[in-house]
Amino acid sequence: MSVPSKFLFRYKARVVNVVDGDTLDLETDLGFRIAFLQRYRLYGVDTPEMNDPDPAVREKAVRAKAFVEASVGGKEVVINTHRDRADKYGRWLAVIHFRDAAGAWVDLNADLLRRGLAREAPWR
């Protein structure tokens, strides 16, 4: 049986660590007082790499990471997972939603694209 939705599950989570602009460590709440720490990759976006040899690219990577940290670092978020398994690096693909200062829900993935801090991932 296949699940008809593009995104399979929705979970509450807390951002524990921002690795870079498109990778985060989250404490995911599975319900029933069960939580686990998992690394997630933002679905559909690609930010510059922190270890790129080009200083200009590294600077953009630092800006993307700083934006993600300011937006969701240490906060409660809601995630939608994309598949029922991890990618080849052990990360789960997800869209992350958070509340902004006004209390409105914001799609972090789309916000990174809109602000020019990421590009659409070619593997999308």
Phi, psi at 55, each rounded to 5°: -60, -35
The total number of residues written for the chain in this structure: 124
Of 104, 84, 105, residue with least CA distance to 94: 84
pLDDT score at 8: 67
Domains in the chain: ranges and CATH: 9-119 (2.40.50.90)
Mean pLDDT throughout 92-104?
Answer: 94
Residues 30-70: tens digit of each pLDDT? 888 888 999 999 999 999 999 999 999 999 999 999 999 99
- Which band of pLDDT confidence, cut at 50, 70 and 90, is reported for residue 89? confident
Q: Beta-carbon neighbour count of residue 47 at 10 Å?
A: 23
Q: Is the pLDDT of residue 88 over 90?
A: no
The answer to whether the CB of 17 falls within 8 A of the CB of 28 is: no
35 token code pair: 């939580």
